[in-house]
Structure 1
Amino acid sequence: MELINGNPFWPTTLQSNSSYPVLETNLSCDTLIIGGGMGGALSAKLLTERGINTIVIDKRKVGTGSSLANAGLLQYTNDKTLTSCINTFGEQQGVRFYELCRYAMLQLTEIVSKLEIDPCFVPRTSLYCASTEDDVIKLEEEYNTLRRYGFDVELWNRQKIESHFPFSRAAALYTYGDAEVNPYRLVHSLLHSSVQKGARIFEQTEMTHCDFMEDGVVCYTSTGTIRANKVIFSVGYETQEIKNDRGAYLQSTYAIATKPVKDLSSWYEQSLIWETSRPYLYMRTTPDGRIIAGGLDEETPREDQRAIRALNRGQALLKKVAEYFPLSNLEIDYAWEATFGDTHDGLPYIGPHPKYPHSYFLEGYGGNGTVYSMIAASLLTNAIAGNESKDLELFSLTRTSKPSPV
């Protein structure tokens, strides 16, 4: 599967990233992680901290799959509001999902504070803007729901938005506890830390097939095998090539990184900004003064049209950024298109599957992939260590997913 087209920004930010060998022998381990992106890297970090003998393989260079297209906005709020989660899953499960997302943000904050390679993790606030006047009622309802269940949020009216930003919207939710991160640096930093704890990592090493035995799994590659007690499949949207999740769907998303902007003083607190419209626009800044913007999700174009589509949609994104921030000399430096996956009910897939013994799947579908990967890494590490949580039921791979409002 071709995951990315165009020219992603993140590889330019880490010139001396680690490289790992190709697997050329037969090995064994406690846990094998297939996939060296964000989910795999977070899982490797937590597993090795528990002293669990871990191997990671990736068919590409690590961090160059979907993680390379990640815009690096980290939020406890979701594309599916807490109000909608409660309506879909019930009060207990809906609130629990948001609590897990909030706790995952705290876990990420703690983890990155101890990493040797700086992942450019910066705490941020978020501004969730009403795209139309009709969305104000929805934001007011969501504000009341979040407050009712103990989430720190403010409801801003037009006057307050205009007093802090150079644009006007009828209303917005202002939330705390979010962050921005460089996802490429984070993946490499997590894997670097895992290696120091004993993890073995192999790049350009593609799983050809697995045999599921009574006492574990044997993973075959073209040049070696790995026998593992447990396996975590963390291959992102390419999971659909292993098993078909009927509750999931794939499409294309777009992103740009501008050239550095000299003056971002009009961008209050450099908050993360996103919209109620679907598909929506999101924006953030970088430490060197760039603006990263993305969204405009749509059905995936024909393969021969994807690269030019990335350029065209990039111009559309730049125009939208300028509507929010009428800055001089806004220019695109990098533009890319990427495969993006979501589920009909708005939750990721995390956990075991009855057709794959001794295995777990980590499928961070949705716009909050890094936060979902943190939730998954924590739940799966606990399960492998013998302390399986009932929270896994919320993300069951065998649940019935139906379209629901966001």
Structure 2
Amino acid sequence: MNLHSGTYYWPATFPDAPSYPSLDQDLNCDVLIIGGGSSGAQCAYYLASHRLDVVVVEKGKIGFGSTITNTALIQYSGEKMFTDLIHTFGEEYISRHARLLKEAIDEIEEASKTVDLDFEFSRRDTLYSASSKEDVSPLKKEYEWLKQQGFKLDFWDQNKIKAHYPFSREAAIYSYDDGELNPFKFTHALLGWAAKRGAEVYEETEVNGHYYDREQKRMVVSTKTGHSIRARRVIFAAGYDGIDVKKEKKASFVSTYTVTTSPVDDLSTWHNRTLIWETARPYLYLRTTADNRVLIGGLDDNTTYSEDRDSKLVHKKKKLIEELETLFPGLNVKPEYYSTAFYGGTVDGLPIVGRYDDYPDSYFLFAFGDNGTVYSQLLAKLIAEDIRDGHSADLDLYRQDRPLLGNQ
């Protein structure tokens, strides 16, 4: 899959990122993780400290897949409101899902204090605004449900928004203690931590086949370098490339666009440097970076053809800067990096852990959706629990065959 094109900010923040060798021998291990992006790194982080032999293979360079286009807004709320998800899954189901997402953010913060490399995690508040008058009522309903669940947030009217920002909206949920991070450093930080605890990491090692050895009860995975890895468990954490391995009918794709600006001298009009997004679909989203840039993205397009996607990049870049200047006049920004990428979601609004009969003892981590980093943290932890303990109480919430309301 041609995942993305353009110019990329995140690798420029860590030009001396470590490199890893390519695989040059056959291996046996407890867990093979296929994918060296943030999802694979999150899996390695949870598994490497539990006396398990862990191997990570990446077909390219570590962190250069979808990770370099990840905007890394760390939030529990997602594109589909919890109050809408309840209609599909039921309230108890979604209450648990919401709490697990909040815990995943806490786990990311804990990782920031555990690993050696600073991946620029900061707690940030979020402004989630109504894009039209018609959106105010469902936004208020979402606020009331989250408040009942114990989340820390307020409901702002138009006057309060105008008092804190240079733009106006009908209403907004103002939520506390979300976050942001640098996804490229995050990936290297977690993998570096895992490697120090015995995990073996290999770059430029592309998988090209597999079979199941029923006698030894192991997956045998072959690579293009001519070697094989025998593993008790396999985690396919290859992001959107995982769909090329196993089609998942719940997954859907669009194209999205992102601009990272030059550093901004004065962000004083940006209240608390909040994460910003909106109810419109497709929506715009904004955040700042550790070196005072603005990252703005959105203007999603329904095309799934890379040539069509790429042809629109220059126009979308211009439109994103215009949107930014409308929201924050006077920032005097320039688009220093800009890119386009495929963006995956799911038809029912929840991420997926795929368990398929034709891939015994394997997991497919499909953390698709606008909260991909948070989803990955959650799913990586549950998969690690299932491997380590033989069961994870919450894993069934995210299986591809999870029950829908009325089918439970």
Output the TM-score relative to the length of structure 1. 0.96
**Residues 2-401 of structure 1: matches in 2 within 5 Å?**
2-214=2-214, 215-223=217-225, 224-300=227-303, 302-399=305-402
Report SS of the residue matched to 1:113.
helix
3-state SS in 2 of match to 1:30: strand
Map Cα deviations across residues 41-89 of structure 1 (whole Å, 9 max, x no partner). Answer: 0110110022211000010101111111100110011111111121210
SS across alignment from 1:353: coil
Q: Is the 8 A contact 2:250 2:400 kept in 1?
A: no
Pair 1:400–1:249, CA change in 2 (3 A): farther
In the alignment, is the contact (CA less than 8 A) between 1:76 and 1:177 conserved in 2? Answer: no
In structure 1, C-alpha distance between the alignment counterparts of 2:70 and 2:59, rounded to whole Å: 19
CA distance in 2, matches of 1:401, 1:279: 26
Contact residue 88 and residue 404 of structure 2 kept, 8 A: no
SS of the residue corresponding to residue 111 of structure 2 reads helix
Q: Secondary structure at the match of 2:105?
A: helix
Q: Are the aligned partners of 1:105 and 1:177 in contact in 2 as well (CA < 8 Å)?
A: no
What amino acid is aligned across from residue 161 of structure 1 in structure 2? I
Once the two structures are superposed, what CA deviation does each residue of 1:16-57 show, in whole Å capped at 9, x if it has no partner? 101011111101110000001111001101100222110000
Whether the 8 Å CA contact 1:8–1:335 is kept in 2: the answer is yes
| Structure 1 residue 298, shift from structure 2 partner | 1.2
1:148 CA displacement: 1.3
1:113 CA displacement: 1.1
Q: Give deviations 1:183-216, integer Å, cap 9, x for gaps.
A: 0010011111111000101101000011122211
Deviation (angstroms), 1:134: 1.0
What amino acid maps onto 1:232 in structure 2? Answer: I
- d(CA) in 2 for partners of 1:26, 1:401: 43
Structure 2 gap segments, 5+ residues each: none
Q: Tell me the CA shift for residue 309 of structure 1.
A: 1.5
> Separation in 2 of the partners of 1:297 and 1:400?
30
Deviation at 1:319, TM superposition (A): 1.0
Tell which deviates more after alignment, 276-285 or 316-325.
316-325
Q: What letter matches 1:72 in structure 2?
A: A
SS of residue matched to 2:312: helix
Q: Are 2:266 and 2:331, in contact at CA under 8 Å, matched by a contact in 1?
A: no
Instruction: Report if aligned partners of 1:353, 1:398 keep a CA contact under 8 Å in 2.
Output: no
What are structure 1's unaligned runs of at least 5 residues?
none
Q: Which amino acid aligns with 1:220?
A: S
| SS of equivalent residue, structure 1 residue 49 | coil
**Contact in 1 for aligned 2:89/2:404 (Cα 8 Å):** no
Give the RMSD, CA atoms, in angstroms: 1.4
Amino acid of the residue matched to residue 317 of structure 1?
L
State the 1:329 CA deviation: 2.0
